[in-house]
Structure 1
Amino acid sequence: MNITGLMTSAGINTAICFVLFSLFSVLRKQPCNAGIYFGQRIAQVRSKHHEPFCFERLVPSASWIMKAWRASEEDIIASGGLDAVVFLRIIVFSIQIFSIAAIICIFLVLPLNYFGQEMQHKNIPSESLEVFTVGNVKEGSRWLWAHCLALYVITCSACGLLYIENKNIANMRLAYVSASPPKPSQFTVLVRAIPWSSEKCYSDLVSRFFRKYYGSSYLSHQMIYRSGTVQKLMSDAEKMYKMLKSTHMRDYHRSSILTCGLCGGTASSFQILAGEPESAEDRGDFTAPDLREKECAAVLVFFRTRFAANITSKSLLTPNPMQWVTDLAPEPNDVFWSNLCIPYRLLWIRRVATLSTTIVFMLFSLGPVGVVCGLANADKLQNLLPFLRGILERKFMSQLVTGYLPSVILILFLYIVPPIMMLFSAVEGSISHSGRKKSACIKVLYFLIWNVFFANILVGSFIDRLDTIQNVVPREMPTVLAKVVPEKAFFFTTYVLTSGWASLACELVQPFVLLCNLVDRLLCRNKGVLSCDVMSFPYHTEIPRLLVFGLIGFTFCIFAPLILPFLLVYFSVANLVYRNQILDVYVTKYQSGGLYWPIVHNVTIFSLVLTHTIALGFFGMKKSTVASGFVVPLTICTLLFHIYCRERFFLLYKDNAAQVLIDMDREDEQSGRLEEIHQQLCSAYCQFKSRNAADLDQFDHRDAQMIQKPEDIKHVV
């Protein structure tokens, strides 16, 4: 493909993004779409439906861009928490490092690649993309020092920026722990694998054990029960409550003032039962035997201080490591209740089975990747399927099949991966929703790195070199990668355009939710807003996408520098799009407290080392042994930097500092809040509900007070 074809591809994707962005700026002004583009809170406010129609709603505007650009880091933390800040820091880091790489490689490496061979050049629009890659440099060229120098500059810049981000995010996490108000999870420990006794129930065993060994710090405990009919009834009751709230929301202000003469509550409210009590005795003799039969070998144990809970969660309670296993409990709204009842002895079986299934799924996915690579190699495809020869001889069809179609097929296939990985992570036995999403994020990341990068390169190499690939040994793999990576520059450039730019436009417009809203209004005759659950940020899909684009950027920066401007455009637009989504669309239900950043650091180091490995093979292939020798110490220094950062920063993500916890406990004790915190602990965790009706009433009433007038909603939009 030549430069004209690449620019045509970029122009088409730019036009698509411009149309979708303009469509978004119009759709977000429509009152019926408030639940899609402004979250659940504004969706529950109906006052804007009474506004008269105005032509301004149909005019595209860029007000959302200015709002997203002006949002401060404090606004991001208030809307999305620390995880949202970490996510945006990934984008900012990518913009910084690839800006440096673009300056170095576009003005230094790209001209050397273009004039690397003594050849008669065409005019630039008609030039093939191969002449702009490092494959155009002749063997033994003295200009290979420029590539080595660019690699040094990019690596040192990446490590320096990575250290700054590590330091800043570590300070944010310390502030997140120390400056946050008292949380139930700070005082609560999840204990599993309680030994069974035929004489006493689990509750009595827990009480006896912790009173004996932790008498001074033990406060109380709450048993965990097997989910069954009770859980189903509670879920159905809560769904019915939400439906009734959605139906009667139009008369919310009037009905919230009226009270029931018999019970004194609001006319539109009813009670959702609270969770199970702390012990069976609180229920009376009638239900005590039933509760004891439903008890699991797991319990939430409450301690008087944060320090005591933290020490207990990290300690080995008995000489048998398979009994009385402890973990620091998640936040109440983050607990994955159904996984707490899994017998601890079965968790390792689930993890092994999940890992094996994930690997098998990744291997079976080579089929679609093979189809993509076959489409990207038109010559080989014609030899295998002669009936396509006439079709592929047409220029437009050839560019469509080899350019757009492979990326589109790969993108459509990758859409099914995140839900499957979320299912695998749930089966794995995570005790929290945020932990499940983090586990799914890692699985999706491995899948994308394998299928988007390595599988495309290796399968493409197998198709192109079917006669020589069998003779490749592991030590020659860097050379194989050095040969194939420049040839794959066009495919990955189109992948950035189709998967990157188009995904941002779809993320902004939310076509699936928009379609559901349209069907709900037209077919179901629902004149209100979309009555679906609020959306939380999909970290398990977006973080892997950013990191894979970062891997592509590092790998191709010196081998095919033309990809860098397209990556910079992607990250720059992503900064605005995701800021808008965090501020307006997604509602933070739970968060991990910045635990995604170590994943980002590890993948960045892996990307740098992989780039060094490919460069080592390339310099050896081009007979530049001196340049190859200079790559080795650069790789060693990068790995040493990784070890230092792991020892300096990563422990802050695993454990909380005892000094910080003790200071927080003393502050609460001196202010007299400790007793109040202890009283709230016993009712903080409720297994058979996620939110009771009283909380929802307060939530709705607070939002209704905050936005009551049409002009208030205009200000938000």
Structure 2
Amino acid sequence: MIVSALLTSVGINTALCVLFFTLYSVLRKQPCNYEVYAPRLLAEGTSNRRSHFNLERLVPSAGWVAKAWRLSEDEILSLLGLDGVVYIRLITFSLKIFSFAGVIGILILLPVNCSGDALEQFDFTNVTSSSLDIFTISNVKNGSNWLWVHFSAVYLVTGFICFMLYKEYKYISARRISYFYSSPPQPHQFTILVRSIPNSSSCSISDSVESFFKELYPSTYLSHVVVRHTSKIQSLLNEAKNLGKRISQLQSDPSQQKYRHSGLFGLFGDKINLKDHYEKKLVDIEENVRLEQSEASLAVEDTRAAFVSFKSRFAAATAFRLHPAVNPIEWITEQAPEPHDVYWPFFSESFMRRWISKLVVIIIFIIFTILFLIPVVIVQGLTNLSQLELLFPFLKSILTITFISQVITGYLPSLILQLFLIMVPPVMVFLSSIQGYISHSNIEKSACDKVLWFTVWNVFFATVFSGSALNQVSIFLDPKSIPQKLAVAVPAQASFFIAYVVTSGWTSTSSELFRIIPLICGLIRRPFMSEDDEFEVPSFPYHKDIPRVLLFGLLGITYFFLAPLILPFLLIYLCLAYIVYRNQFLNVYAPKYETAGKFWPIVHNSMIFSLVLMHIIAVGIFALKKLSIASTLMVPLPIITLLFNEYCRKRFLPMFVAYSAESLIKKDRQDPNDGTMDEFYHKLVIAYEDPALQPIQPPPNTSTLRTPLLSS
């Protein structure tokens, strides 16, 4: 890619960012858009619609930037919990390491690269027509002593990143423990999930659970709730909820259509009253739900799973960590999630079925990853004009136009790849949901891992090798050649990844602020909604946004010594993300669950992977550049990095898996001083009852549902 193509991409994306920021600063002031730009504030009642008109609404302003900037970490903790703090810490952590790397890369490495003469001399009179390769390590002559500057930079930046990783891991671990101590008693701290409960011919599953745990934990066992099959009941309840909303609309809005014909498309047949029709249908659903609830309550097999609650956190942790039975595939225990975090459809009847579902998900993930190579190859084809002219001869005359060729090579490839990547997070959430996880938070955490490694493979590795002559399977069959092949392929794609940071980073972040999809959906739904209709406050999509930041972290770490020109664009993205997401935390998102910072080990492992990958590339680069001593001296660095990672894994990771006995006992000893514990135990007994087995709530203004549904 030439400089002019990159400048075209930067210009287009800068214009889009300015447009999105300007539109946001105007549209957020309009009362009709409060559900889009301030749903959290509306739900909390801290933001009221102002009906009076004033010109200030139509004038763009940047006051929201100052509010977002002043938001403290403790305020983020109160708004989004520790998970929100972890995400902001990830951005600030990335800003620190790439500011440090940027100083070295821009002030030292970039001049060294430009002063090299391995490629044609840089033409200062025609900057825009020069290749971006002139700014990379490729321009340094083989065997040049200047390569020792790059060698020193790799060691220096690796040391700094490891120091910052240790510091952040230690800080977030301390915050996690502090968060635990300061939190009130939570049901999931006293509860475990037991699956694969063995069948007994002499008693029910409920009796088996009670007798089993009373025998093992006679002084600390409190209660249990057997899990039922309720997917059919839940679908009926959803249908009843929709009918209730429709009846309320018919009663409250005189303009609503009250009648329709019973025949084809509502055009023929007898005339019926819609309100009476819906109320009658609602009564039928009520009877069906009663019947299904009774059958679920009397079911013998159930799901062979139960939530078991104890009188102390330490007792629950002991029951979780010590396998209760001799047979390891029976009485399988897991930590219970928060009651509102439970993913009720997850329960499988057998250990084997859950194992098979995980295997199927792995196969589907691999197939999907392979199929995604098709758009990656298409995208890389767009970066090569000669290849495009060969494949599409009729485009030859168009491709000779300078601006068109710059847009196609500089902007279009990364845009197309970004559009294809939009479908990845929902697919990974679906795959994780059928994998047997017990909570929404575990599903999202698993989806975060899948999205991360999917993008690393398909955005980084597939792009690197499909865009070079190294599109060969032999790279996996000959591990010894991997460093040298990466050394050739990775620098060749520097220009594409710079454009990708601009397109996927700058524009996607500003579009997150503008919230174009919710805005369009709101405009479509508005004519059909009344003022009393509920709106849902969205939760933050960690599975989508954490992998994006980590992918950019991988690009910044691997390219800082190869093509340091990427670092300023990366820092601009991180600054935008810092302001935009703080603003969104303040106005838009609300937490639906809390993992207490369990996303940070994913961040740590990704950074370690990026460092080791950079070291492997450095080994190949210095060997390729005929500096064998530097290549040899680079070999200990990944070993030291992996040893550092192993230390962090031993030192900090256990605190993210489960709380220590010391912490649990200390917290338990505080409970007798809490006068609300009796009330808490009373609520704990019913905390994990399936919502589908609760009495249906009659919709407002309807007299049809006079009696509640039976609950088990």
TM-score under structure 1 length normalisation? 0.87
Is structure 2 residue 635 aligned with structure 1 residue 628? no
Deviations 1:466-522 (A, max 9, x none): 799899943222112111222211110111111111101111111111001111124
Which residue of structure 2 aligns with residue 585 of structure 1?
Answer: 588
Instruction: Return the match for 2:524 from 506, 519, 526.
Output: 519
Which residue of structure 2 aligns with residue 489 of structure 1?
Answer: 494
Q: Does the CA-based 8 Å contact 1:246-1:531 persist in structure 2?
A: no
Q: Does the CA-based 8 Å contact 1:382-1:388 persist in structure 2?
A: yes
Instruction: Return the match for 1:217 from 196, 220, 228.
Output: 220
Provide the C-alpha distance between the structure 2 equivalents of 1:226 and 1:358, rounded to a whole number of angstroms.
28
Distance change (3 Å), C-alpha of 1:191 and 1:469: closer
Alignment length (residue pairs):
661
* Other structure's SS at 2:635 match: helix
Instruction: Return the match for 2:355 from 331, 348, 351.
Output: 348
Which residue of structure 1 aligns with residue 87 of structure 2?
Answer: 87
Is structure 2 residue 482 aligned with structure 1 residue 477? yes
Deviations 1:603-628 (A, max 9, x none): 00000110010011000000001211
What pairs up with 1:221-240 in 2 under 5 angstroms? 221-239=224-242
Which residue of structure 1 aligns with residue 339 of structure 2?
Answer: 332
Shift of 1:84: 0.5
Distance change (3 Å), C-alpha of 1:2 and 1:627: same
Shift of 1:227: 1.1
Q: Does the CA-based 8 Å contact 2:468-2:492 persist in structure 1?
A: no
Q: Does the CA-based 8 Å contact 1:38-1:584 persist in structure 2?
A: yes
Distance change (3 Å), C-alpha of 1:376 and 1:508: same
Distance change (3 Å), C-alpha of 1:468 and 1:135: farther
Provide the C-alpha distance between the structure 1 equivalents of 2:516 and 2:690, rounded to a whole number of angstroms.
35
Deviations 1:345-376 (A, max 9, x none): 31110001101110111011111111111111
Letter matched to residue 7 of structure 2: M
Q: Does the CA-based 8 Å contact 1:130-1:136 persist in structure 2?
A: yes
Distance change (3 Å), C-alpha of 1:472 and 1:388: farther
Shift of 1:45: 6.1
What pairs up with 1:427-438 in 2 under 5 angstroms? 427-438=434-445
Which residue of structure 2 aligns with residue 74 of structure 1?
Answer: 74
Letter matched to residue 123 of structure 2: K
Distance change (3 Å), C-alpha of 1:68 and 1:692: farther
Provide the C-alpha distance between the structure 2 equivalents of 1:615 and 1:246, rounded to a whole number of angstroms.
66
Task: Structure 2 unaligned segments of length 5 or more: list them.
Answer: 254-281, 283-289, 701-712
Provide the C-alpha distance between the structure 2 equivalents of 1:348 and 1:73, rounded to a whole number of angstroms.
41
Which residue of structure 1 aligns with residue 565 of structure 2?
Answer: 562
User: Pairwise CA RMSD of aligned residues?
Assistant: 2.8
Q: Does the CA-based 8 Å contact 1:34-1:43 persist in structure 2?
A: no
The worse-fitting range, judged by mean Cα deviation, of 632-641 and 81-90 is: 632-641
The worse-fitting range, judged by mean Cα deviation, of 11-20 and 299-308 is: 11-20
Instruction: Return the match for 1:206 from 196, 206, 209.
Output: 209
Task: Structure 1 unaligned segments of length 5 or more: list them.
Answer: 251-271, 273-282, 698-717
Distance change (3 Å), C-alpha of 1:551 and 1:467: closer
Provide the C-alpha distance between the structure 2 equivalents of 1:578 and 1:246, rounded to a whole number of angstroms.
36
Q: Does the CA-based 8 Å contact 2:197-2:205 persist in structure 1?
A: yes
Which residue of structure 1 aligns with residue 429 of structure 2?
Answer: 422
Deviations 1:234-280 (A, max 9, x none): 33445566778899999xxxxxxxxxxxxxxxxxxxxx9xxxxxxxx
Shift of 1:684: 1.6
Which residue of structure 2 aligns with residue 457 of structure 1?
Answer: 464
Which residue of structure 2 aligns with residue 58 of structure 1?
Answer: 58
Q: Does the CA-based 8 Å contact 1:230-1:688 persist in structure 2?
A: no
Distance change (3 Å), C-alpha of 1:466 and 1:299: closer
* Other structure's SS at 1:333 match: helix
Which residue of structure 1 aligns with residue 264 of structure 2?
Answer: none
Which residue of structure 2 aligns with residue 504 of structure 1?
Answer: 509
Is structure 2 residue 554 aligned with structure 1 residue 551? yes
* Other structure's SS at 2:185 match: coil
Deviations 1:278-334 (A, max 9, x none): xxxxx9xx9589523473201111101110001101111111011111111100110
Instruction: Return the match for 1:613 from 603, 610, 616.
Output: 616
Distance change (3 Å), C-alpha of 1:150 and 1:443: same
What pairs up with 1:114-513 in 2 under 5 angstroms? 114-117=114-117, 120-123=121-124, 124-239=127-242, 287=294, 290-293=297-300, 295-462=302-469, 473-513=478-518
Which residue of structure 1 aligns with residue 658 of structure 2?
Answer: 655
Distance change (3 Å), C-alpha of 1:25 and 1:249: farther
Provide the C-alpha distance between the structure 2 equivalents of 1:363 and 1:291, rounded to a whole number of angstroms.
47
Provide the C-alpha distance between the structure 2 equivalents of 1:691 and 1:544, rounded to a whole number of angstroms.
38
* Other structure's SS at 2:411 match: helix
Provide the C-alpha distance between the structure 2 equivalents of 1:146 and 1:594, rounded to a whole number of angstroms.
38
* Other structure's SS at 2:200 match: coil
Which residue of structure 1 aligns with residue 708 of structure 2?
Answer: none
Provide the C-alpha distance between the structure 2 equivalents of 1:453 and 1:109, rounded to a whole number of angstroms.
23
* Other structure's SS at 1:461 match: coil
Which residue of structure 1 aligns with residue 545 of structure 2?
Answer: 542
Shift of 1:44: 8.4
Provide the C-alpha distance between the structure 2 equivalents of 1:643 and 1:474, rounded to a whole number of angstroms.
23
TM-score under structure 2 length normalisation? 0.88
Deviations 1:391-447 (A, max 9, x none): 322222222222222111111110111111111000101100000000011111111
Provide the C-alpha distance between the structure 2 equivalents of 1:688 and 1:580, rounded to a whole number of angstroms.
34
Provide the C-alpha distance between the structure 1 equivalents of 2:473 and 2:613, rounded to a whole number of angstroms.
23
Distance change (3 Å), C-alpha of 1:109 and 1:289: closer
Instruction: Return the match for 2:682 from 664, 679, 682.
Output: 679
Shift of 1:120: 3.9
Shift of 1:674: 3.4
Letter matched to residue 185 of structure 1: H
Letter matched to residue 112 of structure 1: V
Distance change (3 Å), C-alpha of 1:516 and 1:226: same
* Other structure's SS at 2:305 match: strand
Deviations 1:585-605 (A, max 9, x none): 011111211110000000000
